Amino acid sequence: MSAQPRPTGTVPNPVIPGFHPDPSVCRVGEDYYLVCSSFEYFPGIPVLHSRDLVHWRQIGNALDRPSQLRLPLDQPSSGGVFAPTLRHHDGRFHLIVTNVSDRGTVLLTATDPAGPWSDPLHLPGVPGIDPDLAWDEDGTCWVTVNGIAQVRIDPATGETLGEPQRLWSGTPGALAPEAPHLYRIGRWWYLMIAEGGTERGHGVSIARGRTPSGPFEPCPHNPVLTHRSTARPVQNTGHADLVQAPDGSWWMVLLAVRPRGGTPGWHVLGRETFLAPVEWVDGWPVVGEVPLELPTPSWPLHPVPEVPTRDDFDGAALDPQWISVRRRPAELVTTGERPGWLTLRAAGASLDAPDVVFVGRRQQHHACRARTLVDPAGGRGGLAVRLDEEHHYEIEAGGGEVKVLARVGPLRSEVASRPVPAGAVVLGVEIVPEPPRGSRTGPDTLSFGIEEPDGSFTVLAALGGRYLSTEVAGGFTGRVVGMYAAAGTVHFDRFDYEATPLP
Ligand code: 6LW
């Protein structure tokens, strides 16, 4: 979905916009598969498919059963599921990932990456986060984690073989050596890592050795990728994975952000997945600047069907794009109670609550709008833009009125209200980048309102977007736009999300 005209000969970057951090990619034949972190959201680990590295379609979520993913209510947002690695080995897909809120690192397998994925095999001896998975020619399975440390495992039992060993840890003194990936390329084993932290100092460095456990010799040109200390529109570049296309060319997927507004710049869509071509020079990868428009790759493109702008909730199962906070009990979220409607039964009394019943999708465009037809049916519920429990804006119907509510850190406020007749009402939010006003310019404005019977939109409140940015809220996620119930049983007939032209 794109609302902007594009220069010819280019394709847009990020290739997967919105909250899709820590990408890990693998190719099987002509098909690429990619997974991302999902933190406190259920289902967890979006799985995407592409035939050309440019166009991606979500085909499932690897962790879509409660037996695979527990996200305890006492664990904060931005806990949960961190940094998976996806690999194909011996005819099966393997996924290694850490749930920092429950039992640590696990291994899952699938024959079809769309699912079903196995129940998790626990790897109690694997320390840390950001596990990578690699096999050598003898079939030994190596897990490499942040730090950077490494341990062999038996992938059949989850047992670790020996003690974790420290490996090369990037540029001496650099913050947070993490996100390792280990590759056999030609006669070398390459150990690629992220360093500098996942903020503006983020970068990618690499070393190589003759064995999977080193010793590793650092690339003389490290970091091979960073946008730190530049004014480029793409920032925080790091946490990368490599893949080779069928034509022999190499590509990097990585996370980066698009800050907007004045100083210090606010990014509101979370960390997104970008693509960059990689050249090899003297046995080392060379990655140029990561642009917003990539030269079109030389192979035929395979556009994917657009996600429809409207979900009518006519099917029994929810599309994989829909995510909930920590859990989605079938008795609280159903399309069965009122056919053609999504019915939410409240648990937590507001979006401040860890058990709020919420069903949302990632905000993927800087300019966009969402609308939903809600029947509060004696309860209370509505449309929310959520960053975490402490940072959300929402418009809520119930009790004969519609009100706009804002939570920013310790502050909670009812910003506006209007009486409405009993029955269903269309609630909406329009998100538009803020017009420039020098260094004080914020990233965007979120206008919440009601769609009138004639189709016009009455704004009840326009709120600055910086308070729903990562630079304000902290954490690892991005905005999610969706429906929630705060009291009683609330019905939603449809949800529309569409990109709008940038002003
Ligand atoms: C992840 C780490 C990172 O574990 O952020 O950007 C952490 N990189 O590698 C959470 O996504």
Q: pLDDT band for position 45 (50/70/90)?
A: very high
Nearest C-alpha to atom 1 of ligand 1 is from which residue?
83
- Same domain, yes or no, for 386 and 452? yes
Q: Is the pLDDT of residue 437 over 70?
A: yes
- Same domain, yes or no, for 269 and 335? no
Q: Is the pLDDT of residue 1 over 50?
A: no
Which residues constitute the domain of residue 104?
Answer: 10-295
CA distance linking residue 409 with residue 466, whole number of Å: 12
Shortest-distance atom of ligand 1 to CA 238 = 6
Coil, strand or helix: which one is 14? coil
Q: Does 364 or 503 have the greater pLDDT score?
A: 364
Last residue of a domain, one of 295, 326, 344: 295
CA angle 431, 327, 316 (to 5 degrees): 80
Query: How remote is the CA of residue 253 from the centroid of ligand 1, in Å?
Result: 14
Q: Is the pLDDT of residue 10 over 70?
A: yes
Distance of CA 240 to the CA centre of its chain: 14
Nearest C-alpha to atom 6 of ligand 1 is from which residue?
198
DSSP at 472 = H
Model pLDDT, residue 359: 98
Ligand 1 probe mutation, 239, 253, 267, 271, most atoms within 8 A of CB? 239
Residue 222 belongs to some domain of the structure: yes
Over the stretch 310-365, which tens digit does the pLDDT of each residue have? 999 999 899 999 999 999 999 999 999 999 999 999 999 999 999 999 999 999 99
Last residue of a domain, one of 238, 265, 295: 295
Residue from 132, 178, 396, 430 carrying the catalytic annotation: 178
- Same domain, yes or no, for 367 and 475? yes
Query: How remote is the CA of residue 491 from the centroid of ligand 1, in Å?
Result: 37
- Same domain, yes or no, for 271 and 364? no
Model pLDDT, residue 420: 96
Model pLDDT, residue 285: 98
Ligand 1 probe mutation, 35, 82, 192, 470, most atoms within 8 A of CB? 82
CA distance linking residue 327 with residue 357, whole number of Å: 8
CA distance linking residue 95 with residue 82, whole number of Å: 12
Strand partners, 450: 427, 458
CATH number at residue 159: 2.115.10.20
Q: Is the pLDDT of residue 3 over 70?
A: no
Model pLDDT, residue 2: 43
- Same domain, yes or no, for 198 and 146? yes
Last residue of a domain, one of 232, 263, 295: 295
Query: How remote is the CA of residue 22 from the centroid of ligand 1, in Å?
Result: 6
pTM confidence score: 0.97
Residue 2 belongs to some domain of the structure: no
- Same domain, yes or no, for 443 and 331? yes
Cα-atom radius of gyration of the chain, to the nearest Å?
23
- Same domain, yes or no, for 373 and 284? no
Distance of CA 313 to the CA centre of its chain: 23
Tell me whether residue 312 is exposed, middle or buried, using C-beta atoms within 10 angstroms of its C-beta: 0 to 12, 13 to 18, 19 or more.
Answer: middle
Over the stretch 52-89, which tens digit does the pLDDT of each residue have? 999 999 999 999 999 999 999 999 999 999 999 999 99
- Same domain, yes or no, for 252 and 327? no
Q: pLDDT band for position 4 (50/70/90)?
A: low
The number of domains in the chain is 2
Q: What is the percentage of the chain residues whose pLDDT exceeds 70?
A: 99
CA distance linking residue 445 with residue 435, whole number of Å: 9
Ligand 1 probe mutation, 22, 96, 99, most atoms within 8 A of CB? 22
Strand residues in 229-301 grouped as ranges (E): 235-244, 250-257, 272-281, 284-287, 293-295
Residue 480 belongs to some domain of the structure: yes
Examine the residue annotation and report whether 199 is marked as an active-site residue of this protein. Answer: no
Examine the residue annotation and report whether 401 is marked as an active-site residue of this protein. Answer: no
Model pLDDT, residue 5: 55
Strand partners, 503: none
Query: How remote is the CA of residue 495 from the centroid of ligand 1, in Å?
Result: 31
Mean per-residue pLDDT, 412-422: 97
CATH number at residue 461: 2.60.120.200
Residue 325 belongs to some domain of the structure: yes
Over the stretch 387-410, which tens digit does the pLDDT of each residue have? 999 999 999 999 999 999 999 999
CA distance linking residue 206 with residue 170, whole number of Å: 7
- Same domain, yes or no, for 274 and 317? no
Residue 5 belongs to some domain of the structure: no
Model pLDDT, residue 245: 98
Shortest-distance atom of ligand 1 to CA 129 = 4
Q: Does 368 or 6 have the greater pLDDT score?
A: 368
- Same domain, yes or no, for 291 and 353? no
Query: How remote is the CA of residue 383 from the centroid of ligand 1, in Å?
Result: 29
- Same domain, yes or no, for 242 and 291? yes
Q: pLDDT band for position 8 (50/70/90)?
A: confident
Nearest C-alpha to atom 5 of ligand 1 is from which residue?
198
Model pLDDT, residue 107: 98
- Same domain, yes or no, for 83 and 202? yes
Model pLDDT, residue 308: 86
Residue 3 belongs to some domain of the structure: no
Strand residues in 16-170 grouped as ranges (E): 24-28, 31-35, 41-42, 44-50, 57-63, 81-89, 92-99, 104-110, 121-122, 132-135, 141-145, 149-154, 159-166
Residue 241 belongs to some domain of the structure: yes
Mean per-residue pLDDT, 104-118: 98
Model pLDDT, residue 307: 83
Helix H or strand E segment including 471: helix 470-473
Query: How remote is the CA of residue 83 from the centroid of ligand 1, in Å?
Result: 6
Over the stretch 241-298, which tens digit does the pLDDT of each residue have? 999 999 999 999 999 999 999 999 999 999 999 999 999 999 999 999 999 999 999 9
Q: Which residues line ligand 1 (CB under 6 A)?
A: 21-22, 37, 82-83, 129-130, 178-179, 194, 198, 238-239, 255, 476
Strand residues in 340-466 grouped as ranges (E): 342-345, 357-362, 368-375, 380-388, 391-398, 401-408, 411-419, 425-433, 444-451, 457-464
